[in-house]
Amino acid sequence: MNTEEQRTFEELIYSYVGKQVCPRTAAKDAVNEAMIRHWAEAIGDRNPAYTDPEWAAQSSRGKTIAPPAMMYSWGQEGFPVVAQGRTPDAQSELVEKFNENGFFGTLGTNVKQEYFKEVSPGDTVYMEMVVDNISEQKATARGIGYFFETLATFSDQHGDEIGTQRFRVLKFIPPAEQAAATESADSALEVPTRIASPRGHDNKWWWDACDEGKVLIQRCRDCQTLRHPPRPMCGECQSMQWDSIESALAGEVLSFTELHHPKIPGYQYPLICAVIKLGEGTNLVANVVGCEPEAVHIGMPVQGKVEQVDEKTMLPQFYPA
């Protein structure tokens, strides 16, 4: 698919965003105890609020309720879908468009439900569904593809919303087909990202500065001692007053290791980690890039800059100086 073809294809698929998959439709059966029991048994959920009328009568609700997670099951088609096939709708048409263009692979990636109101035996569940959104083209571990998400909205016979369900599906070109579908892979890559640092009281400021392209070194405001990694108190004079200076990121490799195995998703290999002795005097662990791994050596002068290393991560990276 060349750029032009991709644009045409994307125009076509994006036209499905907002289309109705099904109008508000009542489930074939009202909420009932038998279905609830089957479901609870299958899941292994023994909550008496679902299946024990005597217990439920004493509870704050006064009656049994359906497990909220059953919401979607009330409107499910049964055997007829298997036997006769599904009536075409906007979702099946969209899937067909993907398949026609080589995106045969299908992977349900996640389901997210939200619950607003409970239903009990005798209530009727209505469902309405739309194609809610379609992503840009992504390069996933499975292959190049698009995520699309349907949004189902559930309501009861009074028209009150009882919950919503978002279902996210990845349509992708399976690897065997990947080679045939040329180009277009380079744009908007979404691959796993590096494991980020949590940001707490003692380190958030450092990473926030890193996001803005700066490596800071904490400095005691009383005795001026530099320290890294950051900590709340000066080990020299016990002062808790501190500020920071910005590192010029000139330094040398004190030691390093090339990481071979295991290869962690989100990290690019070859991967070199080094302890860098910065000109300011403190040490910093970071990556060495911009040369063959064999060229890295202890004592090597390096110059760092803060760079975006993946979609989410800014990190200091050091180059041969």
Partner 1 sequence: MPISLKDEAAIAGIGLTEFSKNSGRSELQLAAECIKAACDDAGISPSEIDGLVSYTLDSTDEIEVARAVGANDLTMFSRINYGGGAAVGTIHQATMAIATGQASTVVCWRAMNGRSGKRMGQGVSGDITSSDLVHWSWYTPYGMLIPGSWIAMIANKYMHNYGVTREDLGLVAISQRNYALNNPRAYGYGKPLSMDEYMASKMIAEPLCLYDFCQETDGGCAILITSAERARDLKQKPAMIRGVCQASTRGQEQMTSYYRSELTSLPEMELAAKLVYEQAGLGPHDIDAACLYDAFTSEIIMQLESFGFCKEGEGVELVREGGLDIDGRLPNNTHGGLISEAYIHGMNNIAEGVRLVRGESTGQPDKNVEHVLVSSGVGVPTGALILGKD
Among 6, 271, 303, 320, binds partner 1 (CB under 8 A): 271
Contact 160, 117 (CB under 8 A): yes
* Cβ proximity to partner 1, 88 vs 198, nearer residue: 198
CB of 300: closest distance to partner 1 in angstroms?
12
**Under rule CB under 8 A, residue 124 binds partner 1:** no
Nearest to 242 by CA among 216, 215, 221, 217: 221
Residues 6 or more apart from 80 whose CB is under 8 A from it?
none
Q: For partner 1, which is the closer residue by CB, 266 or 320?
A: 266
Instruction: Report the residue number, 80 or 213, with the smaller CB distance to partner 1.
Output: 213
Q: What is the nearest approach in angstroms of partner 1 to the Cβ of residue 57?
A: 40
The total of other beta-carbon atoms located within 10 Å of residue 290's CB is 12
Residue 283 binding partner 1, by CB under 8 A: yes
315 lies in the binding site for partner 1 (CB under 8 A) = yes
Segment contacting partner 1 by CB under 8 A, of 85-93, 96-104, 152-160, 267-275: 267-275
Residues 146-205 that bind partner 1 (CB under 8 A): 194-198, 200, 202-203
Which region, judged by CB under 8 A, interacts with partner 1, from 59-67, 69-77, 148-156, 284-292?
Answer: 284-292
DSSP per-residue codes, 295-314: G--TT-EEEEEEEE-SSS-E
CB 319 within 8 Å of CB 290: yes
Nearer to partner 1, 81 or 291 (CB): 291
Q: Is 39 in the site for partner 1 (CB under 8 A)?
A: no
Q: Is 279 in the site for partner 1 (CB under 8 A)?
A: no
Q: Where do runs of H (alpha helix) occur along 139-273?
A: 175-178, 204-211
Q: How far is the CB of 293 from partner 1 (least distance, A)?
A: 8
Closest among 170, 94, 167 to 139, alpha carbons compared: 170
CA distance 41 to 36: 8
Site map 221..260 versus partner 1, x via CB under 8 A: -------xx-----x------------------xxxxxxx
CA–CA distance, 319 with 279 (Å, rounded to integer): 15
Burial 75-103 (b: 16+ CB within 10 A, else e): beeeeeeeeeeeeeebbeebbeebeebbb
> Measured between alpha carbons, how far is 20 from 128 in angstroms, rounded to an integer?
8
Q: Quote the least distance from Cβ 243 to partner 1, whole Å.
A: 20
Q: CA 278 → CA 242, 243, 307, 316, distances in Å?
A: 20, 18, 17, 12
Applying CB under 8 A, the span of 33-41, 77-85, 178-186, 273-281 interacting with partner 1 comes to: 273-281
Q: How far apart are the C-alpha atoms of 176 and 167, rounded to whole Å? A: 26
CB of 291 to partner 1, least distance (A): 15
Between 54 and 294, whose beta carbon lies closer to partner 1? 294
How many amino acids of this chain bind partner 1 (CB under 8 A)? 34
Q: Minimum CB separation from partner 1 for residue 203, in Å? A: 6
Q: How far apart are CA 96 and CA 171, in angstroms?
A: 11
Token pair 């709708």: residue: 89
Among 56, 282, 304, 306, binds partner 1 (CB under 8 A): 282
Residues in touch with partner 1 (CB under 8 A): 194-198, 200, 202-203, 228-229, 235, 254-262, 264, 267, 271, 273-275, 282-283, 285-287, 298, 313, 315
